[in-house]
Amino acid sequence: MKKLHADWFPNVGLSVIVLIRYDGKVEKLDLAELTQWIPNWISDKTTKTVDEMNDGAFQLSDLAQRQTFCIFVDFKSSDPKVVQASYDAISVLEKVMPLFASKFKAFYVADKRIPKKSLGITWNTMPAMAFNEENSQILPYP
pLDDT of 1 over the 60 cut = no
The mean predicted confidence, pLDDT, of the chain is 80
**pLDDT per position as a tens digit, 11-54:** 555 677 888 888 888 888 878 777 777 888 888 888 888 988 88
pLDDT of 82 over the 70 cut = yes
Domain segments of the chain as ranges? 1-35, 48-141
**pLDDT per position as a tens digit, 43-81:** 888 888 898 888 888 888 777 777 888 888 989 889 999
pLDDT of 134 over the 50 cut = yes
pLDDT of 87 over the 90 cut = yes
Least reliable range by pLDDT among 74-78, 83-87, 117-121: 117-121
Name the phi and psi angles at 10, rounded to 5.
-70, 170
In this structure, the strands spanning 16-20 and 26-30 are antiparallel
The Cα–Cα gap between 119 and 110 comes to: 14
The Cα–Cα gap between 59 and 44 comes to: 13
Catalogue the long-range contacts made by 78-83 (C-beta closer than 8 Å, 24 or more residues apart). Answer: 82/126, 82/127
Terminal-residue alpha carbon distance, the chain = 60
The CATH class of 48-141 is alpha beta
Q: What percent of the chain has pLDDT over 90?
A: 13
Other beta carbons within 10 angstroms of residue 40's beta carbon come to: 17
User: pLDDT tier at 7 (50, 70, 90 boundaries)?
Assistant: low
The pTM (predicted TM-score) of the whole model is: 0.74
